[in-house]
Chain A
Amino acid sequence: MSDANDTGPVPFDVRPVKRRIWRRLSLVWVVPFVALAISLWAAWQSYADRGKLITISFENASGITSGETTIKYRDVTIGEVEQVEFAEGLSVVLVHARIDQTVAPFLDDDAQFWVVRPDVSVRGITGLETVLSGVFIEGNWDTQADVAQTQFTGLERPVLTRAGQRGTRVVLRADDGGSIAAGAPVLHKGIEVGYLEAPELSFNGRQVVVSAFIESPYDRRITSSTRFWDTSGFSVSFGTGGVSLNVSSLASVIEGGIAFDTVVSGGEPIRDGHRFDIFPSEETARDSLFTDPNADVLEVAVLFEQSVSGLTVGSEVRFQGIRIGEVSDLNAIVVGQAADAQVRLQATLAVEPSRLGMGPDATTEEALALLSDFVTRGLRARMVTGNILSGTLYVELVEVEDALPAIMNLTSGDFPVIPTTDSEISDVAATAEGLLARINALPVEELMDGAIDLMDSFERLANDEYTRAAPAALVTLLDESRELINSDDVQAIPGDLRSVIGDLDGLVTAATEANLVTDLDSAIATAAQVATNIEVATQNLPQITQDIEALTARANALELEALVASATESLNAIDAFLGTDDAIAFPGEANAALSTMRELLDDVREGGAVANVNAALASASEAARAVEDAVSTLPALAARANALVTQTEAVVNSYGERSRFSAETLATLRDIQEASDAISSLARAIERNPNSLLIGR
């Protein structure tokens, strides 16, 4: 500035300016430098922070927009899609995205990405926010930083299990996947403790396999003895307790669900990936507790010629009464060629080798060998009625003694084939029907007609005037009888009787003296000997029992119709007889007979007959007295007989198990006992009233 004053015409001197360029530099220059510095720093910062580029491949990129679609991890935005393009050959869609530097190191090989879209299911609505904001990509990985990756393959559907989530994954197997859906709940005592993942078909295509994730700490409840069952839908069961309707949660009704429980202790802890079967109901699950569901089963086939109606999948297979497996499949197959072709019903039996008594480690090959051996010795399969009312059947393996020789067919068809024998199906309905038919066929009406005719005849007889006259004649007869009894001679009869009893007494005394009792004694000894013989004879019992049964059968076979017919005939004959004039004339003849009798009584009264009778009675009285004495020994006799019976009974009891025969023998012995009791009571009665022997009362 001072220069300008001095020089005048040349205000700007070049040289001094050049010399003092640094000193003249304005302070304002700081501003652009600061601005530059800040800009550069910001640029660097944004470059350094811009995130790591990763590539995710998807089948399709529906809803993914470059620059807008974000990538989230646990609902926090960690990146953004930069570019969407096709891979070479249009095979997949490549989504390039920038991920925050802080997160990038955790994107190792366990990282999974999927597109979140709105999803409406029974259990709720998820991804609702994407309706307005558009889809986003959700990522999932654990918190362990491993070797970072930049290439990922996107999943088509969201994963249900967060990486690092604690719990146990088990593999469940079911025959039918109809009740299983991805995301369906796994329940334990009614609370949701896990969920199912997407079901898949097993390798051989026979079962549906689904992974289930059980969250910690509930997974500790699972041991090798845990059982899983299907709770989907609702079940109605009829039983003695009435109708029971079982409905689980509404979600599981629609979406399906699996429940589990561990009832028995002693199971071993399981690892991830343990396999379990899904049982169709809680009941079957609990029933199966004592078998190992994972044991291999031997599948054999049986070809039935007749209808298998009543046999269902799950029907039991029994061997000598013990359940060894179940029917796993039923279908019809064609056997033979061309004209000989026949349709047979094939039942596939799943036999558990461990149930054949071969030990827990038995293999299916060993079991097959065993069965094959049995078959050559006569093992055959047949259907047997299990429940008479419902008509359900089960398959029984029995040894048939006179079976035609056969071997197990191991080569043809899918399974080894066990030959069959005649089935034992008792058709209750048919039997009852036959019985009713026979009853129906009985000539009941003819019988009734005959009976009615008989009654008519009787009525006619009763109405006959001779018959009516009979009572009057009887009254006269009685009057005369009374007169007879009131006569002095008849009154004297008791005295005479007494003397007769006295005579009898003497007679018995004489008998006693003649060792009658000793003879009885020996007779009883003989009876004991007989009992011993019976004991020996019982060894031949089965034969006897069979004979009896045969006899019974024959008796059963007697023709009832013929019997009824002959009864009807005889009734008809009686009827005819009553209808004859002779029968009608009978009352008259009876009257005549009564008159004759009256005359006879008159004769008796007039003659000395009564006096004779009195004398006879007196001697009878003596005889009765003798009997009285003899009878006094009878109680002792009865007691001995009793003892004999008891002894025999004991023998029979000790003979062994209470077979039908021994029961019958016992009954017989009881009859004997009753008889001896009757004898003793008779004896007592005679003792009390010896006269009864004579009077007959």
Chain B
Amino acid sequence: MITARDAGLVACQQCGQVHPLGTQVCKRCEGRLQSRDVDSLQKVWAWLIAGMIAYIPANIYPMLLTSTLVERSESTIIGGVFDLVEHGSWGIAIIVFVASVMIPVGKFVAIIYLAISVQRRSRANQHERHKAYEVVEFIGRWSMIDVFVVAILSALVQLDTIATVNPGIAAVSFALSVIFTMLSAQAFDSRLIWDVARTKE
């Protein structure tokens, strides 16, 4: 199997136009042409770390500030999940848990695995890793569901003294964390997965 680079070609990642290796700018869409993004792993790590840093306050600080006539409560992500479980709302608890905890954490793990495996020039599970990358990139945006819920609640539930919902610091942190990890996933150049096999051959 021959790669584009072996053939002395470079494909535009935006429009797919193929150019001879060494061309800097796409003739069709004027996008930058890179056979391999050499800074890819750096960017992946940088965004990933930023995302992970942002994820810490997202879990420590309250996500929702709910004040009703009776009480005023602050709930963190995990705390909210436990509250829901206590109230018997298993379904919603699972959704929140999956969207706010499992997916981001899964993304971190997946991206770290991908980055490390590329750095180590691992040859194992190349197809699976590629699939994992596709999944990570696709599913990442769904983590924003939590942020949207908070945003919608805060906008709708503003009944003055009776009940008020305000987003907490965690909402912003969590949104940043999701954004950073999405950027991290995007910075990953999936072609690097296959370069190992290429060079081995």
Contacts and interface: CB of A to CB of B under 8 A. Distances in A.
Contacts of B5: 4, 11
B112 interface: no
Interface string B15-51: 0000001100000000000111011001100110110
A39 interface: yes
Interface residues of B, number: 27
A28 B40 CA distance: 10
A74 interface: no
B36 A4 contact: yes
A677 B176 CA distance: 137
A1 interface: yes
Contacts of A29: 42, 46
Interface stretch (A30-38, A230-238, A283-291, A485-493): A30-38
A26 interface: yes
A6 to B, nearest CB: 11
A331 interface: no
B22 A26 contact: no
Contacts of B36: 4, 11
A24 B176 contact: no
B53 A32 contact: yes
Interface string A1-19: 1001100001100000000
B80 interface: no
Contacts of A10: 199
B38 A133 contact: no
A5 B180 CA distance: 33
A35 B70 contact: no
A35 B39 CA distance: 20
A35 B180 contact: yes
A72 to B, nearest CB: 14
Nearest to A131: B70
Contacts of A11: 5, 36, 195, 199
A85 interface: no
A25 B21 CA distance: 24
Interface string A625-666: 000000000000000000000000000000000000000000
A32 B56 contact: no
B172 to A, nearest CB: 11
Contacts of B43: 26, 28
B111 interface: no
Interface in B165-201: 169, 176, 180, 187, 195, 199
A68 interface: yes
Contact of B42 (A5, A25, A39): A25
B70 A31 contact: no
Contacts of B38: 1, 24
A133 B71 contact: yes
A35 B54 contact: yes
B56 A39 contact: yes
B159 interface: no
B42 A28 contact: yes
A24 B34 CA distance: 16
Nearest to B43: A28
Contacts of A36: 49-50, 53
Contact of A32 (B22, B49, B187): B49
Given A4-B36, A5-B21, A31 B71 contact: no
Nearest to B73: A68
Contacts of A39: 53-54, 56-57
A28 B187 contact: yes
Contacts of B50: 31-32, 34-36
A4 B38 CA distance: 10
A4 B192 CA distance: 14
Contacts of B49: 32, 35-36
A148 interface: no
A693 interface: no
A523 interface: no
Contacts of A132: 69-70
Given A28-B42, A32-B46, A39-B57, 20 more contacts: A1-B35, A1-B38, A5-B22, A10-B199, A11-B36, A11-B195, A24-B39, A24-B42, A25-B42, A26-B42, A28-B43, A28-B47, A28-B187, A31-B47, A31-B50, A35-B176, A36-B49, A36-B50, A39-B54, A134-B71
22 contacts: A4-B35, A4-B36, A5-B21, A11-B5, A11-B199, A25-B42, A26-B39, A26-B42, A26-B43, A28-B43, A29-B46, A31-B50, A32-B53, A35-B53, A35-B176, A35-B180, A36-B49, A39-B53, A39-B54, A42-B57, A132-B69, A133-B71
